[in-house]
Homo-oligomer: A and B are copies of this chain.
Amino acid sequence: MKILAVDDDPDLLALVAFALAQAGFVVVKAIDVPSALRVFAAEAPDLAILDINLPGGTGFEICEAIRKQSRVPVMMLTARGEEEDLVRALDLGADDYLTKPFSPRTLLARVRALLRRAGLETGGAMSAGGLHLDLEAHTLRVGEAEPVKLTKLETRLLQILIANAGHVVGTERLLTHVWGHRGSGDRQLLKQLVHRLRQKVEVDPAEPALLKTESGAGYRLDVKA
């Protein structure tokens, strides 16, 4: 999920970007009107957060330009908190509005609400540590790296591992979750699946940093932070 954040205050922009990145969003930034429009066209973000007061222009212009070509949710930020701004923003097609100062938690709650309203929240996405699994797109993103494409079985395996991040998941449970039933004696399948998954997601597949083996028990997803 990609979010465009526009603000001319470097500190606030960094804070917003950090909060969003922590929550698993990809953030693209801009500091004025022209760069915001350029980035929007180039990156096609899923949501835009626009400061109203910008050097040489306002967030209203950006909002208006975005609305002409797209229906992505737009959230406006303002320090003023005046009703005029609010009404004007909503009339221009903005979807929400936040008054500075705001807490990162509030920002995230509102962003999530907007995405859900827009029907963009996949419903099927989970994350743990720096891992973000998209169950619908079958992709895994490790930290800020490019998403990796996964197969159906790999997705199912990661689903249960991420759901139990940091804890050992027994071989039997893995087998039944991924293949659902089976003589459940088929450990070879699991070996292969883990092997193939490691080739895709581990930096050094011979020395797994994420998908740890718990000898005699099962596997464990190691999450830092």
Q: What CA separation (Å) do A173 and B124 show in the bound complex?
A: 12
- Determine whether the beta carbon of B214 is less than 8 Å from that of A169: no
- Determine whether the beta carbon of B93 is less than 8 Å from that of A106: no
Q: Which among A96, A113, A120, A163 has the greatest number of chain B C-beta atoms within 10 A?
A: A113
Chain B neighbourhood of A126, CB < 8 A = 71
Chain B neighbourhood of A150, CB < 8 A = 216
Q: What CA separation (Å) do A149 and B214 show in the bound complex?
A: 9
Nearest residue (CB) in B for A73 is: B117
Q: What CA separation (Å) do A214 and B71 show in the bound complex?
A: 23
Chain B neighbourhood of A118, CB < 8 A = 117
Identify A112's interface contact among B90, B129, B163, B168, CB under 8 A. B90
**When A90-B109, A110-B90, A120-B167 are in contact, do A137 and B217 touch as well, CB less than 8 Å?**
yes
Chain B min CB distance to A184 (Å) = 14
- Determine whether the beta carbon of A69 is less than 8 Å from that of B109: no
- Determine whether the beta carbon of A136 is less than 8 Å from that of B218: yes
- Determine whether the beta carbon of A137 is less than 8 Å from that of B214: yes
Whether, in the assembled complex, A116 has its beta carbon less than 8 Å from a beta carbon of chain B, the answer is yes
Q: What CA separation (Å) do A96 and B117 show in the bound complex?
A: 10
Q: What CA separation (Å) do A151 and B217 show in the bound complex?
A: 8
- Determine whether the beta carbon of A170 is less than 8 Å from that of B136: yes
Whether, in the assembled complex, A164 has its beta carbon less than 8 Å from a beta carbon of chain B, the answer is yes
**When A103-B83, A126-B71, A224-B44 are in contact, do A109 and B91 touch as well, CB less than 8 Å?**
yes
Chain B neighbourhood of A220, CB < 8 A = 137
Q: Beyond A90-B113, A139-B168: 11 further Cβ-contacts under 8 Å? A: A44-B129, A44-B223, A44-B224, A69-B225, A71-B126, A83-B103, A93-B116, A117-B118, A119-B164, A120-B164, A138-B168
For this complex, 7 residue pairs linking A to B, each with C-beta atoms less than 8 Å apart, are: A69-B127, A120-B164, A122-B167, A136-B168, A136-B169, A139-B168, A149-B215
